[in-house]
Amino acid sequence: MEANEIKIGQEIYYRGDMANAEGFGKITEVIRDKWGDFFSTKLEDGREQKRIPCIMLAEIDTDNGMTRFCTKEAYNKKRQEKIDKFLRFANK
């Protein structure tokens, strides 16, 4: 996402990795300086993440490691698609 599209207070989902647990949080800061555009987050469990490149925040959840951060709306949309797919399979 572009820095001007990212709003302080926006809810996000962090997918995590081998060493860091996934979680939900909010954007706490948007930084635009000579090194680029960044944002910072605070997750619900208290972890803070600083200076994350804005390009890492997606509006579409790919449901894989290519999407490290996405909006909460994108996460919920992908999750609902997976639930619907499972229910169609289970009802066959």
pTM of the complete model:
0.89
Identify the pLDDT of residue 2.
Answer: 76
- Domain 3-90 belongs to what topology? SH3 type barrels. (2.30.30)
Q: Does the pLDDT of residue 85 top 90, yes or no? A: yes
Identify the pLDDT of residue 55.
Answer: 94
Beta strand pairing call for 69-71 and 57-58? parallel
Confidence of residue 52 (pLDDT cuts 50, 70, 90): very high
- What is the DSSP code string of 8-23? TT-EEEE---SSS--E
